[in-house]
Structure 1
Amino acid sequence: MVTTITDGVKVSVETQYQPEYSNPASDHYMFAYKINIENLGDTTVQLLRRHWEIFDSNGEHREVEGEGVVGEQPVIEPGSSHEYISGCNLKSDMGSMKGEYQMVRLLDNSLFDVQIPQFYMVAPYRMN
């Protein structure tokens, strides 16, 4: 698990290779990632947008941007957290992702970016 804290918001990420949804013969590798967003601050925040940079070990790079996460724009009270699971497909058996969430402090409507730490997606057989 990798973790980072930005402006009182802690983001932790775990990944898992999904062999049942992968097809190595067709250069299709599927990974799931679970993200926990914890509000360590003293004001309520809301996640508005996400921005991802996805790197494939074959040299491919792509960016994904959009509203919320898995169809939600969660409000996170102080001391609370929001967890979700999503996925990423790669054309090789290893790669990485990193990015940021745009959030707003509901107290004063100030916007700020929270870093998502770079995390690696590696098929287990590559770990040997």
Structure 2
Amino acid sequence: MTEYERSRTMTAQPEQVFDQAADIGRMDTWLPEALHVEAGDLPAVTVHEDRTDADTSALLRARPDQMRLEWGTRERGGYTGWLQVAGIGSGASEVTVHLSFFDEGHDPGEKAVQDALDSSLRQLEEQVRLRSDASAG
């Protein structure tokens, strides 16, 4: 099993960050460009991966009371992950994303995963900022 984790501090209330991250209709705005989530009968979702042009059955659970998202593949158990939002005071939040790969075929490698996690967290922060600016304006 291979595990990866990245965190990022964001200048936004944790509820704002979690609401953006958990919105299935807006996940494409912050997930890696190669991944697309389509809601089924929740918690069932389909994840399309451009790299392999494959659809994978997965589960996605939002736990708003814990400000946590959890996901993973359904049939083969190839990977799981979670996103946790925590308030750190003064209107800021820390967002942590953790991925676990149980099947080497699902693991695109350390550099690719770390780059994707960093990019996703940057994009999530930008989406939170844009949404906050739009509601303030």
- Which category describes the TM-score, using the shorter chain as reference length? 0.3 to 0.5
The TM-score, its normalising length taken from structure 1, stands at: 0.34
Greater strand share, 1 or 2?
1
Larger Rg: 1
Greater helix share, 1 or 2?
2
The TM-score, its normalising length taken from structure 2, stands at: 0.33
